[in-house]
Chains A and B, each alone.
Chain A
């Protein structure tokens, strides 16, 4: 299968896999403990600390690996949450139609009219900031975008004769949504999923940077930028490592999403 893959997809898949494996096996890979102070402040790279130490003398590579674990876990969980809620509700709105559709769509419009960062900040400032709360807030806020896409795609599919045939057969809504509509709506949703995952990474990083995301001493990429940003003034690049990590992850996930999209559309029986 690797032979038939375009080179961009191979690179994307390689880096995505690398990041995810690092996240999963963080405790095995990391050279030191997550919050362990092991050296001086902002030490330069050395054989003991491959990319130096951070603002209070913790090993930066260790922080990056654990930070990746937190960031990727939160982003993945929030993406899954936003996709399940968003697409199921979107499909439901399209299939049921009428006032149910109207009520749900206008409610989503209402949520979308508030900038999601501000909305998240307000919610998180009045609730205890724990990882489950973060995931729920991010996932639900983002599900509005997925809802819109899913509904638009499903409205198109819902008028197809094969859906009408299923309705005439007497099929229930569950069959129509999951067996008739979902398989045909998958390609645009998968493409969107890559993009939304990256937005989630950026979102959680932004929240942590602003102090309302992952709380210290737990590491995450946004938090590492925050902790080390003062070093930039002194020419210390510690804050750039998480930035590079976020950028490479974003690019590689999108390369993979592109490839998946191409593959699913050219599948047997694929549309276009």
Chain B
């Protein structure tokens, strides 16, 4: 049976299963995608969107009849160019993968072979599949490099993967996927690991490449604002089920389902800016710092202030020194110059010489909640330890207080004896917040605490943090690269660029014009939930992003 050629990819009732190994139980099989169907015409772009565990990557890979580690396609049909690839032979699949259908992964750095030059890897599939000779493939690759806006397209292929930036490498990977002239490209979160300002360039490059080559694409992401810029149609997924499927315009401007509405209205928290008080809680004066054995200052003369019960957001891209600032304040990296005043007295630069009271009043929450908690300790031990360590609480009294804290972070009963592996991502981060609160701190440093979370979960965490601030009157030093988060919770903002604070002041002032070039770049790079945003931004930019 042959299909009409105008449908490139036809998925019918696709079911995908996997074996799970829950802690403390026997391994068993579960279904992770429950019968998803869709069509894709040549040259169209379909966006798959959903939170982690929605099955978007799994569906993307299924269009190459591939199941990643332990994942099996258990039912349904996947038709590519008129044949059911779930029933076809292995040799046919081999010509399909990397030939007709190609794949762009989230982390280009982990996907390229560091020992081979880029050109060799970009042309490999095209040459192997016999689509082009080596010479033709190289010419095509150079043309693609140019189209994707890479600098020096003639020679960049001679470089090794570590010699180009992350954003450039991601574009090289797009070239790799487009080189064999595929009919379909699967983009699996291609911009998620990049900085906002770099993300724009890659997004633009991908969008133009798709348009110019006329290839069809599946674009997978958790960020609705991103997918709105590149795709024609959007499918919203939740826990392996299709929630809503429609054109991009319809999903963004007229969502039908509650879940889609929630995704569209995410990042809508608003917080009234508080006026600074007379006595700042934390004063950072002229702090300069460098890592041991290097000759480069990662922090250059940083001056900021934070008032009790308020939030200072430190914004910047990776490498701007924002996490280093946190390390200098906590004493993990003693600054080489400058001083830090906390609650009326000067903090000793080194952690080891600080009195216990200082340690107690200054707590920290990390980006990756998974590794911020000892996997061999229960929630009760994790939250209970600061209570025992700082306040000498023991036994029933400690347990009661742990439960109080669990109630405060809206987790309630039944969690105290669980291990971190038995919690979801959002719950893990909540436990970390409770651990910090247990010490009754005056300041909590939040280092990218919502970056690793799904948008809706991240929203929940931000709301919780704001609410706790009202109750406990704790100040936050909030480190993030996400300006939407900053808008939501900050009272004052410090924008960092290459180790310096380039803009600092109350939120209303920092976020209103006139902007310096860097702040303008950063602000304009935050994806907005509307069609045509990408084109507007690219047309109006003043400064090239760091990735170029």
B378 cross-chain contacts in A, Cβ below 8 A: 269
Complex interface residues of chain B between 418 and 477 (CB less than 8 A to chain A) = 419-422, 435, 439
Query: Cβ of B389 and Cβ of A169 under 8 Å apart?
Result: yes
CB-CB under 8 A for A161 and B366, given A267-B23, A268-B24, A269-B376: yes
- A247 within 8 Å of B (CB atoms): no
Nearest-CB residue, chain A, relative to B389: A169
Nearest-CB residue, chain B, relative to A181: B374
- B537 within 8 Å of A (CB atoms): no
Partner of B374, one of A167, A180, A268: A180
Complex: A184 Cα to B439 Cα, angstroms: 25
B435 cross-chain contacts in A, Cβ below 8 A: 165
CB-CB under 8 A for A170 and B359, given A164-B332, A184-B376, A269-B421: yes
A165 cross-chain contacts in B, Cβ below 8 A: 364, 366, 372, 435
Nearest-CB residue, chain A, relative to B359: A170
CB-CB under 8 A for A183 and B366, given A169-B385, A269-B23: no
- A266 within 8 Å of B (CB atoms): yes
- A160 within 8 Å of B (CB atoms): yes
Query: Cβ of B419 and Cβ of A161 under 8 Å apart?
Result: no
A270 cross-chain contacts in B, Cβ below 8 A: 23, 375-376, 421
Q: How many residues of B contact A (CB 8 A)?
A: 31
The CB with the most chain B CB atoms within 10 A, among A160, A162, A183, A271, is that of A162
Complex: A160 Cα to B24 Cα, angstroms: 25
A184 cross-chain contacts in B, Cβ below 8 A: 374-376
Complex: A169 Cα to B250 Cα, angstroms: 51
Query: Cβ of B389 and Cβ of A170 under 8 Å apart?
Result: yes
- B386 within 8 Å of A (CB atoms): yes
What is the CB-to-nearest-CB distance from A73 to chain B, in angstroms, rounded to a whole number?
32
What is the CB-to-nearest-CB distance from A272 to chain B, in angstroms, rounded to a whole number?
10
What is the CB-to-nearest-CB distance from B333 to chain A, in angstroms, rounded to a whole number?
12
Interface string of A40-70 (1 = CB under 8 A from B): 0000000000000000000000000000000
Complex: A100 Cα to B375 Cα, angstroms: 28
Complex interface residues of chain A between 253 and 272 (CB less than 8 A to chain B) = 266-271
CB-CB under 8 A for A171 and B389, given A165-B366, A270-B23: yes
Partner of B368, one of A161, A167, A170, A180: A161
- A168 within 8 Å of B (CB atoms): yes
Partner of A169, one of B359, B368, B420: B359
What is the CB-to-nearest-CB distance from B264 to chain A, in angstroms, rounded to a whole number?
33
Query: Cβ of B375 and Cβ of A269 under 8 Å apart?
Result: yes
Query: Cβ of A268 and Cβ of B23 under 8 Å apart?
Result: yes
Query: Cβ of B373 and Cβ of A162 under 8 Å apart?
Result: yes
Complex: A63 Cα to B94 Cα, angstroms: 65
What is the CB-to-nearest-CB distance from B432 to chain A, in angstroms, rounded to a whole number?
8
Nearest-CB residue, chain B, relative to A267: B23
6 A-B contacts (beta carbon < 8 Å)? A161-B366, A165-B364, A169-B385, A183-B376, A266-B21, A267-B23
Given contacts A269-B378, A269-B419, A269-B420, 9 further A-B contacts (CB under 8 A): A162-B372, A164-B332, A165-B366, A169-B439, A170-B354, A170-B359, A268-B24, A269-B375, A270-B421
Q: Which residues of A contact B (CB under 8 A)?
A: 160-162, 164-165, 167-171, 179-180, 183-184, 266-271
Q: Which 3 A-B pairs have the closest CB atoms?
A: A269-B419, A183-B376, A161-B372
